[in-house]
Amino acid sequence: MLDVRKMALLRELARLGTIAAVAEAQFCTPSAVSQQLSALEREAGVQLLRRSGRGVALTAAGADLAERTEGVLALLEEAAAALASARTELAGELRIGAFPTAVHTLLPIALVELGTAYPRLDMHVTELDPAQVPDALRAGRLDIALVHEYDYVPSEPDPALLTEPLLAESVYLASAAALTLSAGYADPILAGRDQPWIVGSPDTLCHLMAIRLCQAAGFTPRIRHYADDFAAVLTLVAAGQGVSVVPELALAGCPDGVTLATLSAQRRTFIACRRGAEAHPAIAACAAALRSAAARQPRPLLR
């Protein structure tokens, strides 16, 4: 009988390409991954991997098994959801992931609603960038998460995950009210082309969005500051330290002295979970609470 946990590692190798990348995603050592994959080969009775330079590649049999693993894991999630639905009370642990602006806005409303309706549901929240969510869901470190994509940074479909649209936000160019920007442009982003910029860390989606948005307008931003917390970004903007691209959810508590110009781009938020797990009562209840929280979000007061 094939071990489904070892099969999941083979699937991750097919997706990530190297044993080192699989080990990093699974928070274990490369040698541990190699040992598990070797054991899977013995269970399968056929060669699943072959040496390719300094790394490994999947054989035809290995690639076929990795592809079939997606369906196997989804069926197991469906079975777990069915068993959970047979219980008389919603209880147990629910691990939720969310990006920082959602933690400040959407998530508290949803958590209060869930805690009131299901007092025995033990909720744990992890704040992380959406780029880290797929690995965390696949590895079972999260049960449900909020992710986002920008117009200029679309997300790649992931066969292991199911996503549901939740919220679409406008995106703004934030500048100091006292700062004189170049006027007369059809696209407001061009008004900041000669100014210093405040952007997210290089490995974040927000950073990539700002760079691509500027490049689409025909220039590369001159970056002065890196900041991932939008409250810090807006504080720096208000202090005249530069301009920045800021999504709608980040505008709660926007400091005085900041002017906002609506851009053509949007940020879209999705609810994500492992495929097959969407019917789990705890995940379904969390998704419903998140939808309720999104519907109650106030619109920003533009300045």
CATH code, 18: 1.10.10.10
Q: Measured between alpha carbons, how far is 162 from 77 in angstroms, rounded to an integer? A: 12
Q: Among 57, 84, 111, where does a domain finish?
A: 84
Q: Among 84, 102, 124, where does a domain finish?
A: 84
Pair (119, 252) in one structural domain: no
For 127-137, write each residue's pLDDT tens digit.
Answer: 998 888 998 99
For 236-275, write each residue's pLDDT tens digit.
Answer: 999 999 999 999 999 988 999 999 999 989 999 999 999 9
Pair (173, 162) in one structural domain: no
Q: Measured between alpha carbons, how far is 269 from 74 in angstroms, rounded to an integer? A: 23
| 156: pLDDT strictly greater than 60 | yes
Q: What is the pLDDT of residue 185?
A: 61
240: domain CATH number is 3.40.190.10
Q: What is the pLDDT of residue 186?
A: 65
| DSSP β-ladder status, 244-247 and 49-52 | unpaired
Give Cα separations from 33 to 125, 154, 259 (angstroms). 28, 31, 51
Number of domains in the chain: 3
Token reading at 230: 């939008």
Domain containing 65: what range?
4-84
User: Which of helix, strand or coil describes residue 174?
Assistant: strand
Q: Is residue 112 part of a domain?
A: yes
Confidence of residue 25 (pLDDT cuts 50, 70, 90): confident
For 277-292, write each residue's pLDDT tens digit.
Answer: 999 999 999 999 999 9
Measure CA 119 to chain center: 27
| 184: pLDDT strictly greater than 70 | no
Q: Is residue 150 part of a domain?
A: yes
Pair (261, 273) in one structural domain: no
Pair (257, 183) in one structural domain: yes
Pair (158, 178) in one structural domain: no
Is the alpha carbon torsion for 33, 132, 162, 207 positive or negative?
negative
Confidence of residue 234 (pLDDT cuts 50, 70, 90): very high
Token reading at 34: 């190699």
Pair (75, 143) in one structural domain: no
| 27: pLDDT strictly greater than 90 | no
Give Cα separations from 43 to 2, 50, 56, 71, 106 (angstroms). 6, 16, 19, 19, 46
Q: Is residue 300 part of a domain?
A: no
Pair (21, 97) in one structural domain: no
Confidence of residue 162 (pLDDT cuts 50, 70, 90): very high
CA angle 210, 159, 49 (to 5 degrees): 110
Element (H, E) at 245: strand 244-247
Pair (288, 237) in one structural domain: no
Q: What is the pLDDT of residue 55?
A: 84
| 178: pLDDT strictly greater than 80 | no
Q: Among 84, 106, 125, where does a domain finish?
A: 84
| 183: pLDDT strictly greater than 80 | no
Token reading at 136: 């965390």
Mean pLDDT of the chain: 91
Pair (146, 193) in one structural domain: no
Main-chain phi, psi angles of 220, to 5 degrees: -105, 125
Q: What is the pLDDT of residue 179?
A: 56
For 72-120, write each residue's pLDDT tens digit.
Answer: 999 999 999 999 999 989 999 999 999 999 999 999 999 999 999 999 9
Q: Measured between alpha carbons, how far is 237 from 224 in angstroms, rounded to an integer? A: 11
Q: What is the pLDDT of residue 12?
A: 92
Pair (64, 27) in one structural domain: yes
User: Which of helix, strand or coil describes residue 29?
Assistant: coil
What letter represents residue 34's amino acid?
Answer: S
Pair (56, 105) in one structural domain: no
Contact predicate 300/251, CB 8 Å: yes
Q: Is 114 exposed, middle or buried (0-12, 13-18, 19+ CB in 10 A)?
A: buried
| 180: pLDDT strictly greater than 70 | no
Pair (173, 252) in one structural domain: yes
Q: Is residue 33 part of a domain?
A: yes
Q: Is residue 301 part of a domain?
A: no
Q: What is the pLDDT of residue 181?
A: 53
